[in-house]
Structure 1
Amino acid sequence: MNRHVNAIAGRLSLRAPQRHSLEILDRITEIIPPKKGADVAAALEIIRSEFPSVTDFERDFPSLCFALATGVGKTRLMGAFISYLHLAHGINNFFVLAPNLTIYNKLITDFSDRTHPKYVFKGISEFAIDAPSIITGDNYDQHDPASGTLFGGVRINIFNISKINSEVRGGKAPRIKRLSEYIGESYFDYLAGLPDLVLLMDESHRYRASAGIKAINELKPILGLELTATPFVEIAKGSVQFKNVIFDYPLGKAMADGFVKEPAVVTRKNFNPAGMSPEEIERMKLEDGVRLHESVKVELETYARETSNPIVKPFLLVIARDTTHAGQLLALIQSDGFFEGRYKDKVIQVDSSRTGAEEEEMIARLLKVEHTDEPTEIVIHVNMLKEGWDVTNLYTIVPLRAANARILIEQSIGRGLRLPYGKRTGVTAVDRLNIIAHDKFQEIINEANRPGSAIHLKEVILDDDVFGQKTATIVSQSQLATKLGLKPADATGSTQMAGQDVQLIFIRPEEQKVAQIAYEVIRKLENQPTTVPTLAHLKNPEIQAAIVKAVQEQHRPAQMELEGVTEQPDFVAIVAKTVELVTQQTIDIPRILVVPKGEVKAGFKPFILKLEALKYPAVSEELWIQHLRTSQLEVVTLGNGGIEEKNMEDYVVSGLVDFDDVSYDDQADLLYELASQTIKHFCSYLSEDDARKVLRCYQRPIAQFIHAQMQEHSWEDSVDYEVVVSKGFTEFKPSAYTYAVNEPSADYRVSPADKSNMSKYVFGGFRRCLYPVQKFDSEAERVLAVILDRDADKWFKPGKGQFQLFYKQGANHLEYQPDFVAETKNAIYMLEPKASNQMEDATVLAKKEAAIKWCKNASDYAAANGGKPWRYVLIPHTAIAVNMMLDGLAGQFGCY
């Protein structure tokens, strides 16, 4: 069955905890094959023998709970469960239970809408051909489910719990339990009689009430699969843990593994509440929350523009005491005195006090709060935002309701943990969820750090000197784009434009419009290197004539709409002037690809593993159980309850084939030879039984250990390569920076006061830079910019993706972005200033090697097309001084 697990995990891109859950299901179906009328007590004993955490199914049928933290992907896992049970065991009938209307509607979309980004079966080819029938609480009684005309193939029933466990007025049974004219029995009884019904319970902690358990038991499924982030129920005496948890992946683990945001508790530097009224503390927390929100909004936009990702509009969540308090907060935020009234139309109150049209508008705005065109930035709520309201753009929470620290943490962060890009970015502002808790700061820290706490919060101290600085995103597009009057896409209220003082090349709107169309035509010529090998070729009469023709064709429809305009623009003159500007304000950067001729074969040479450091101790039965209970399974991969391999070597081989560069079909002999060495090593100090347990428990780190050594023995058939130039030149990408609004651009010629924090400065005042402002990472970069602005004809700092230049690090190919590009009369330089003690660093040398090859290929292309040669210059920071000349640095440190 493992092939189904591998296939589904790969197609659905399952995360490690999701995959492990699927592996557990695979094992469960092996030791207790799901079937109608199974001996439940016997099944419990079998499962308990391998999974000691399962002490009771808590249902009248085998039911197992997968406790996965919020944000890890429970809905995707349900899709994986259904795919596996159908493909591996031929099961066709599923019943998905939702705890409320919000989740019910969300599940219908996720399971049925193939165009939706969260469609759970994306990549499952069998379902692409024959999609499952989705039967809901709204359409189940409209057709005969057994006829096969509508509900054929795989049938997934999605119901809200209220549809099956509630009584209606007059004591009648719910509609699902009433007789159906199509099937001669109630739909509920039809489901209960199916031989292969599998029940999936989303947010299963909501089905522990007696009425819910009774209704679920009556469905008589062959297997129950429960998913929740909170595997316990609260009663008067405290929390009661579930007895059927087979896999627990708690929030702390999800944080450590980077699947959710990193929550942080925020207070003010030297905050002292003495003498402050509760109202004053509340106002301070709210205002500080908004200030932090504004700062985060800028950082998110800057990151999005730097990385060409969609811009995320964050929002702030205020937790009020009650509906009266919520109304007071709404009035405050909508007043002119609160941040100059900027949030008057950007705040909504979400609670039970809204009815009718107001409620509909509230819900509509809440459901669209992730959309950048929806204005809401502050949401005030009392206690309505529960499970199912999944957003990725909640970044700041201001809890104003009295609660103990544990409840405050759990209720506050539950809705804000999901990451907007699906994974951590490494940028703190993008990856962090902020909880404003001035007066509860120490209490929350103590709770988070107590032994046994799943959450370890970061601390953020707001310094008035820094916090008081208003920031914005400054977009630095090329001087060329600015002179043509072009604007960056998706401007927001936080977006500032650099180079506002740059004089436009065309003043009249109609001429500016023609020039912009001409530039779009030129941009498309990037992809025709045989026609336009370099920018200089744009000046050829036949090329300019073709540009003029294309511009006239694109301009004509718009021209006809202009009433009263009879004079045609001088297309020839405008195009000629635009071409001249493009050649002056751009450096020829070709897009170079090195591709092999014919089929490339690669693999690994046989070698003897160095296994001395691989000394895992024997795994005792007691420790075996502890792995499960402490959620260590994700780290150690299979753990107890994983796949039981027949041959010990298969544990190693199946771990190795998960790596992209390892082909089982081509390298099976080598893989089993390495596995054999590994088995022999473990058996040299462990019994065979203990060695098997170690292999099973630590499969992933063992595979990683071996794979790292395989890299040293990789081979690739020596084949001929050819250099393919896909673009003769490339458009300059805009850059984006975060900057302090009240601080003007720094003069690049003057060394700043705080050289240790160089990246906070935005520098301007250049004469020959192709961008109006730039940021530098070090004083050496700033000094080099002074040299370039003096000695080069034109220069700039390239943005991410400008070169598409990659270097190899281990098995990975990573993008390399050189620090500077400069053009002189005789050459084009790719320059990299580097700390003198890093000149022999392995990564620096790998980048250098890739850059030299690129420059050689670019020089060959330039030589064939009348262009300038490229040279790579790696400069130690100690050699960079204002009195140095560019030619001198290139002569001393140039590598090609």
Structure 2
Amino acid sequence: MELKKYQQTVIDDLQAYLNVLLAHSGSLKSSFAEYWQNHARTPLAADKIEPYHDKLNGAPNVCVKVPTAGGKTFIAVNALQPIFVAREYFGAQEPRMVVWLVPSESILSQTLANLGNLQHPYRQKLNVDFSGRVSVLDKEKVLRGHEFDADSVRHGVSILVMTFDSLKGRSKDVLRAYRENPNLSSFADFRQPENELAEYDNTSLINVLRGLKPVVIVDESHNATTTLSQEMLANLNPSFVLELTATPHEKSNIISYVGALELKKEQMVKLPLMISQQRNQADVMMAAMTLRHNLEIAATNSGQAFIRPIVLFQAEPRSKDDKATFDKVKQELLNLGIPENQIAMKTSEINELKNVDLMSPDCAIRFVITVNALKEGWDCPFAYILASLANKSSVVDVTQIVGRVLRQPYARNHVLPELNCSYVFTSSEKFHETLANVAKGLNAAGFSEQDYRIAQETENETENNFRQPETVVQPELSLSAPEMPSEPCVDDENWRIPNTFRLPENGMAVSSSNPIAQKMAQLQQNTAQISQAFSHTAQKTEHALPPELSGKTNMQKMRDEFVNEMMNFRLPQFVQAGFSNELFVENSEKVLFDKDNLLTSFELRKADRNIDFGNIETVLYASEIDEKGKVDFSPLKGKEKQYFADLFSQSSDESQQKMLVKKLFELADKKSFYPISDNDVREYLRDIVNTMAAAQRQHCFEHLHQYFAAIKQKIDGLAREFSEKEFKKQRDIDDIVLQPMYAFSPEILPKELAVPLSQSLYSRESKMSDFEVKMLRQILQDDGIRLRWWHRNEERKGFYINAFINHYPDFILLTENGTVILLETKGSQLDGSDSQAKIRAGLAWENAANALNDGHKYRYMMVFEQNQLDGTYSLAEALERLRHW
């Protein structure tokens, strides 16, 4: 099971935050601010960054906002390894303990089952990340010491899944965690008397957990905001806390946002949500049953994966003076000929869904009746329709369960667009108040009012004509049958269902003469158009700015005078001719060349292994976080240093070698050596370690991160040398060619803004160095240089020369006569090897671009403030050439 693109983005954000903590050793507050100011996709203006809230006495505590159906559990599973690697980066050998907190018993059971199942993708991912040494525990196992001892946390990872209430309050069950417990006596080595709660025994579960300094995962963290909850978290003495929720509270330290369109692009959710008002409760029931019937027939006839659409009837509780109580709703369904095995009730008192696999083809359930029992933890992708049967004159409150119909079956779109949406039916006269509750329900699921549409008869909605619910009042789509003789099934006019209403059997469609069927057919037709337009919008939207960050960035729009001419302007980039595929690439365009493709035949196992480790100093580090929230990575001293050094030196030669290879490999993130295979990297590391004498192995252990840096530098150099030769070879045989590819975005998001200068492509450009400002001022003031516009190109975000290296030139200039100039600057710093490689890549791009004969001339130049290299220019020389270009 691979991470979805947006899930990988969340993990990348987490890694970026961890890197800030590791690299700068600053306070939690300043690290959080720096993280957002330098965020890869949405850097925030320094004065618009929310302050970090230190709620846990210095333990890093961050939050990820992911909507319902976004796969928060899988994100958390993937987050554990980078967190532990960061904790151990400077040499500390700490126990790997996870406390995984959930809000309810239903989520507890589900999480334990999934993490404990060896065949489940969650557990499989954990086994890969932690070499199969994974223990998944509940509170009872831990209290008994079953599969939970010092060895399990020293050599593997132990994950204790509990509800928020397990350590809160004073109930008898809770108090067991605070009592003396001989079953946990093996954890004595991890005791930290200064951190123990003095009023409890040192063998109590709470003090054992405090000594282990667990990583804490808080699922649905919006449920853990009370003072008691915060005290419970603090009592665990966590080393790191990761919160996951669709609705962060105001003091959440959010490091990553996932929006609804990201889930729609990855086919995770049924959006938009179609809302339709009915005349009365009878119409709600008939509409829901008819649409459900039609959707099942459509799903069956399409021949795709099995889908059995389910209706959620939201009934009134028995205390209400209303006919739509849950037991009467069931009776009405039975009166209409619905088999009893197709109906299930889920209330606070009745749970007919327990141990039922709703996804099984053998399951008959098509109707679920609830009041408000379907909250977090109940997710069935077959739930398509929410039919609220509240009193006609009341406001329908669907805030708790609207998210239950959003999950997309099998996380992929169906060929029929109406099966990619979800539906809400209501008969409330207070329709607009009900819409407000729908919006609240979507908000609670992590979505917005932009993600629902109000169904209507007369208007076909297209991509540019979405009915935006918060600003437009529109006629409802009435699905009620006309008045006709009938016998009421109950003595309430709202329940006047015609006795002729029956759903056909044997997969037959509802008769078109049935007025309800006619309205449902129209709804499906309109929904199909809306669904296709919504999906198109989602797919074409790149890097959508989360609503929460609106107004907090330095977003700058392209200047009006350049918008039209830039609409069709494309900068040339290299494309891979051999990877073209006309079935999947529009207009038979080539695929953008990726330098990683050059390494497909690179054999690291045959490469040079001579590395000079002579400049590495002997010092051993560990991470500590002081009481003021300062993340301090300082050298270990005295007994601590000696303890770890002795532990390693007492191991056998073979154990030392294996440990070093393992530790060195763990320091590499997924992108460190890509696309070189993990097996090749391990073999390369093994060969290096095996040639080390005992003294050097000890030295390596004491300075793993520096050894890793030296090895990575060696591998990167070998790979770059091979890539450049391969690039020239493939260019010679036209496997790699140049084509107009790169389009400028209508807006940019600079980390910091530069001083405003004339003729910039955007209203404000990204921050520049003093030398760059000096150079640009002279260019703009030179009467001999006829400049059309200039743009400060941001590293890793803008245009890049995709040759054997990815080179982001500092500036892009366009002259009045159509010459495009890529300009790289070098101030007082000098990196000869990197600069020489950039020059070679730049000149390869220039030569290939000029061969296009597309009406433009292309130039590449590197300008040095001082200490020039061959093939580069001084500022004066650059100005002279620009006058002629």
TM bucket (normalised to shorter chain) is: 0.3 to 0.5
TM-score normalised by structure 2 residue count: 0.48
TM normalised by structure 1 equals 0.47
Q: Relative CO higher for 1 or 2, CA cutoff 8 Å, sep ≥ 6?
A: 2
